[in-house]
């Protein structure tokens, strides 16, 4: 039954996030992208600090060892970010600018500013010229790889506790929405066909289920190391929220806009807490 739930959750997170992103990107809700970034940041932080880390520390592993893993995970994702920036700049014979290329291992393997999917910014060094055209297969390949990673993370959470699995799936869905919005804009820009763009990104999102299967097998073989898996999942969520999402929200805004950011951040936290309570009940 656990495997069935993993497949269900990974498909919901992987493909469901694409369809929500399509509704926000191509519909009348495109102006709410900033709110989705705030919601995703809140969901990721709440999942890591309120659910995954407490579950990991309830196991037999020592606190010092788990904190070392948490630190190592944050450094690993930082280095992964650096490697992606270096590869991207080397491939295009340019020097990447960290301030303008907010890539992250789980969010932004494309070169689109997700804060405004309806208006891709060509005036910055990370415009559409950095995306292979036509087809954007490089983008889809990168998307599939990190969707696979998301599936492993969700499976790890399910192996610890079913409630944690659903909470992790919800957090993944929330943070994938702004990412997929950027993907859809790039693909639609290259082909001018919204339906084809949606199909391509949905197929990449479906790879989340393959990652879930792989994660189920891996964690089954290494059950004693489950607390360490949970801490690694937490480090990825924390890194994405603090290094990728929140910096995109750190700009001078009016009081009303700032209040909206805080509100949606709180909604993300509340959404995770509600999902946890429902799953636990």
Q: Which residue has the tokens 């607390």?
A: 227
Determine the pLDDT at residue 85. Answer: 62
Cα-to-chain-centroid distance, residue 97: 22
Domain ranges (residues) in the chain: 2-280
Question: How many other CB atoms are found less than 10 A from the CB of residue 128?
Answer: 17
Q: pLDDT digits over 113-135, tens only?
A: 444 444 444 344 333 333 334 34
Most confident of 118-127, 207-216, 269-278: 207-216
Strand, coil or helix: 247? helix
Q: pLDDT digits over 149-166, tens only?
A: 889 989 999 998 888 899
Q: pLDDT digits over 4-57, tens only?
A: 999 999 999 999 989 988 887 766 566 666 787 888 888 889 888 988 898 888
User: CA-CA distance, 228 to 62, in Å (whole number)?
Assistant: 10
């Amino acid at each position: 039954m656990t495997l069935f739930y993993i497949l269900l959750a990974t498909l919901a997170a992987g493909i469901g996030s694409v369809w929500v992103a399509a509704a926000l990107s191509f519909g009348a809700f495109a102006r709410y992208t900033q709110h989705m970034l705030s919601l995703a940041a809140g969901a990721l932080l709440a999942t890591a600090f309120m659910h995954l880390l407490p579950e990991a520390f309830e196991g037999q592993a020592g606190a010092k060892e788990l904190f070392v893993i948490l630190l190592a995970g944050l450094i690993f994702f930082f280095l992964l970010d650096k490697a992606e920036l270096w590869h991207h700049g080397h491939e295009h014979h340019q020097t990447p600018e960290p301030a303008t290329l907010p890539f992250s291992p789980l969010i932004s393997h494309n070169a689109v500013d997700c804060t405004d999917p309806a208006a891709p910014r060509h005036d910055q060094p990370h415009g559409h010229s950095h995306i292979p055209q036509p087809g954007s297969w490089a983008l889809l390949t990168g998307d599939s790889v990190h969707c696979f990673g998301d599936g492993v993370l969700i499976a790890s959470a399910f192996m610890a506790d079913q409630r944690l699995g659903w909470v992790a799936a919800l957090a993944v869905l929330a943070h994938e929405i702004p990412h997929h919005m950027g993907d859809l804009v790039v693909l639609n820009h290259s082909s001018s066909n919204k339906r084809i763009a949606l199909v391509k990104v949905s197929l990449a999102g479906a790879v989340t289920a393959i990652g879930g299967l792989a994660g189920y097998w891996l964690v089954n073989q290494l059950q004693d190391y489950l607390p360490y898996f949970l801490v690694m999942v937490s480090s990825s969520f924390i890194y994405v929220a603090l290094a990728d999402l929140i910096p995109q929200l750190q700009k001078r805004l009016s009081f009303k806009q700032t209040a909206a950011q805080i509100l949606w951040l709180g909604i993300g936290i509340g959404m995770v807490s509600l999902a946890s309570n429902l799953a636990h009940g």
